[in-house]
Chain A
């Protein structure tokens, strides 16, 4: 079944089509949920809510993007919603609170990360920074889009990213140093 027919079947409430969507896009959506939630339990909650939204709103799908992109977008929105509910102070920041000095720490160019390792690294970061990293680096959203999405200013988005990168660089460098010592 091609994507268009799959969407139509889902819109009609065909449970076989629902299952096909689940099988085809579910694992990737679950990966996305894991990145935002940081643990399996919360990720499953987000995953569940996301797919409910997908199936309930698939009638409104306008074919402006691929189904995968659309599902991921819903997943991101649901994850952010979940995090906001869970952590009321998510992105509570006033512009004046920010350190405007952006520091870039160098990390070796040859560094490569496995998904599992990258996930562990993300978990060590504050939730705000995890979200910024996810949105800016992995989803490749612009600061303007992130600002609109999170209800913060573009400047705040930049500063949060800078902090996140600094934290991440430090963690990576620390790990590399530790590994070198171990060797």
Chain B
């Protein structure tokens, strides 16, 4: 028996079914690591959720504050009671005992119709604030006792004064319900006021033109994306054909996406807001590669880098084939600023620009890997999420044209350009690349 066989036999027998005892501490450690890893998977989603909550909350508060300030009413609530003088109501030149603070308040948006008499408690909701009109009792409108109490939202100091109450008909106020319910006639006529009706109309017009606070949108359309290699990380450790193979694998991208968006108006006066939401982006990349490894690298193992290449005949070279379609799916979180330009009451242009965070949700398919790692040999590799950088931050910007369809429902078209720096890990290095392109989208938007 020769040495090889003796050694083989002896060592093989020695280590045949060789086992080492385990202790419970190892399992405890392992279990802990598995649980921690599971928990970490939720961390990015949790962070995104928190960012969205904070952004939404902050924006809502800012918007709310702005909305009240435009009417010179602070956000704290205090009930003001406005007593209508029965004589004032009876006359065409309506006069109301109104607190001084409320005199600056845009009472002109309030439409007092002849119909308000029949309710004990009615609620008026205007575009920007809520006004409760309380009629003291059913007899309140009778000539002998027609007291109205108007409760408005304000924390301004209350002072007694008498001003003219401008009564301008505003179709946007929700008085329709009241109109249906009342049969009493009160001789209140619109525009019978000393208040400057011109100024009031301008203000109403201004209110109409102001962008809505929040708009929800759903967007989808045609998209053309491409991948460009920007650089190779640890290029000295990667095969020289890495870039070529990567570009070949990503040359015919087909994208599908749907975007759920939210627009918040932050500075309505300047028509500036932010846009956020969630975008589902799926990229399909059909691959048909037939690659022969004719340049075989030899390694300097001290520095773990390629020293040079040995050229092989095509006949003896290892061949790799991949004929499949790879799919990578991303969940994007855009955070963009937007600026709206109203063309008229029914049409607007919206310009958006900002950042976009993309999270790799899944990677499926097969790739040719010509780079060696200690654990991985060159060959075809099944794609998985670990091969890519999972969170990327990029830029996005575009222009939208929106037109009002009905009430709060708008439709539009958008041209969006976006770029996202990505990283694909291979061997001891990685391919830094940019996923970029444009999309033409159809938008359905609901404004509040």
Q: Are B30 and A104 neighbours in the complex by a CB distance under 8 Å? A: no
Kindly specify which of B9-17, B202-210, B410-418 makes contact with the partner chain.
Answer: B9-17
Q: Are B18 and A48 neighbours in the complex by a CB distance under 8 Å? A: no
Interface membership of A69, Cβ < 8 A:
no
Given A22-B30, A56-B37, A169-B3, A118 and B11 contact (CB-CB distance below 8 Å): yes
Pick from A26, A47, A113: contact of B11, CB under 8 Å: A113
Question: How far apart are the CA atoms of A30 and B372 in the complex, in Å?
Answer: 26
Pick from A15, A80, A118: contact of B15, CB under 8 Å: A118
Q: Are A169 and B14 neighbours in the complex by a CB distance under 8 Å? A: no
Interface residue ranges of A61-113 to B (CB < 8 Å): 77-78, 80-81, 84, 88-93, 104-109, 111-113
B320 CB to closest chain A CB, in angstroms? Answer: 14
List residues of chain B with CB within 8 A of the CB of A48: 26, 29-30, 33
Specify the chain A residue showing the minimal Cβ separation from B297. A151
Q: Are A35 and B3 neighbours in the complex by a CB distance under 8 Å? A: no
Pick from A19, A55, A80, A168: contact of B27, CB under 8 Å: A19
Q: Are B301 and A115 neighbours in the complex by a CB distance under 8 Å? A: no
Question: How far apart are the CA atoms of A28 and B16 in the complex, in Å?
Answer: 10
Q: Are A165 and B3 neighbours in the complex by a CB distance under 8 Å? A: yes
Given A28-B17, A90-B301, A148-B377, A107 and B7 contact (CB-CB distance below 8 Å): yes
Q: Are A60 and B15 neighbours in the complex by a CB distance under 8 Å? A: no
Q: Are B372 and A165 neighbours in the complex by a CB distance under 8 Å? A: no
B11 CB to closest chain A CB, in angstroms? Answer: 5
Given A35-B15, A81-B374, A118-B11, A91 and B34 contact (CB-CB distance below 8 Å): no
Interface membership of B8, Cβ < 8 A:
yes
Interface membership of B22, Cβ < 8 A:
yes
B448 CB to closest chain A CB, in angstroms? Answer: 41
A78 CB to closest chain B CB, in angstroms? Answer: 7
Specify the chain B residue showing the minimal Cβ separation from A113. B14
Q: Are B4 and A165 neighbours in the complex by a CB distance under 8 Å? A: yes
Q: Are B15 and A31 neighbours in the complex by a CB distance under 8 Å? A: yes
List residues of chain B with CB within 8 A of the CB of A138: 11-12, 15
Interface residue ranges of B1-46 to A (CB < 8 Å): 1-8, 10-15, 17-22, 26-27, 29-31, 33-34, 37-38
Q: Are A47 and B377 neighbours in the complex by a CB distance under 8 Å? A: no
Interface membership of A7, Cβ < 8 A:
no
Interface membership of B375, Cβ < 8 A:
yes
A65 CB to closest chain B CB, in angstroms? Answer: 15
Q: Are A118 and B14 neighbours in the complex by a CB distance under 8 Å? A: yes
Q: Are A27 and B15 neighbours in the complex by a CB distance under 8 Å? A: no
Interface membership of A117, Cβ < 8 A:
yes
Interface membership of A123, Cβ < 8 A:
no
List residues of chain B with CB within 8 A of the CB of A89: 301-302
Interface membership of B380, Cβ < 8 A:
no
List residues of chain A with CB within 8 A of the CB of B21: 27, 30
Q: Are A28 and B19 neighbours in the complex by a CB distance under 8 Å? A: yes
* Number of B residues, CB within 8 Å of A: 41
A96 CB to closest chain B CB, in angstroms? Answer: 12
Pick from A30, A107, A117, A151: contact of B3, CB under 8 Å: A107
Interface membership of B382, Cβ < 8 A:
yes
Q: Are A115 and B37 neighbours in the complex by a CB distance under 8 Å? A: no
Q: Are B7 and A52 neighbours in the complex by a CB distance under 8 Å? A: no
Among B17, B301, B302, residue most surrounded by chain A Cβ atoms (within 10 Å): B301
Specify the chain B residue showing the minimal Cβ separation from A40. B20
Specify the chain B residue showing the minimal Cβ separation from A22. B27
Specify the chain A residue showing the minimal Cβ separation from B34. A55
Interface membership of B298, Cβ < 8 A:
yes
Q: Are A111 and B6 neighbours in the complex by a CB distance under 8 Å? A: yes
Interface membership of A175, Cβ < 8 A:
no
Interface membership of B384, Cβ < 8 A:
yes
Interface membership of B222, Cβ < 8 A:
no
Q: Are A88 and B302 neighbours in the complex by a CB distance under 8 Å? A: yes
A70 CB to closest chain B CB, in angstroms? Answer: 13
Interface membership of B299, Cβ < 8 A:
yes
Given A22-B30, A55-B34, A113-B11, A31 and B375 contact (CB-CB distance below 8 Å): no
Question: How far apart are the CA atoms of A151 and B300 in the complex, in Å?
Answer: 9
Q: Are B30 and A51 neighbours in the complex by a CB distance under 8 Å? A: yes
Q: Are A91 and B27 neighbours in the complex by a CB distance under 8 Å? A: no
A54 CB to closest chain B CB, in angstroms? Answer: 10
Q: Are B22 and A27 neighbours in the complex by a CB distance under 8 Å? A: yes
B16 CB to closest chain A CB, in angstroms? Answer: 9
Specify the chain A residue showing the minimal Cβ separation from B27. A22
List residues of chain A with CB within 8 A of the CB of B18: 28, 31-32, 35, 115
A90 CB to closest chain B CB, in angstroms? Answer: 7
List residues of chain A with CB within 8 A of the CB of B372: 148, 151
Q: Are B7 and A109 neighbours in the complex by a CB distance under 8 Å? A: no
Q: Are A60 and B30 neighbours in the complex by a CB distance under 8 Å? A: no
A116 CB to closest chain B CB, in angstroms? Answer: 9
Known A52-B34, A137-B8; further 15 A-B contacts with Cβ < 8 A:
A18-B34, A27-B20, A28-B19, A30-B22, A52-B30, A90-B301, A93-B301, A104-B2, A107-B7, A111-B6, A112-B14, A118-B14, A148-B377, A151-B299, A153-B298
Q: Which residues of A contact B (CB under 8 A)?
A: 13, 15, 18-19, 22, 26-28, 30-35, 43-44, 47-48, 51-52, 55-57, 60, 77-78, 80-81, 84, 88-93, 104-109, 111-115, 117-118, 133, 137-138, 148-153, 165, 168-169, 172
Q: Could you jot down 5 A-B contacts, CB within 8 Å?
A: A30-B21, A89-B302, A104-B2, A106-B3, A113-B10
Going nearest first, the 6 A-B pairs with the smallest beta carbon separation are: A118-B14, A27-B19, A77-B375, A30-B20, A109-B1, A31-B18
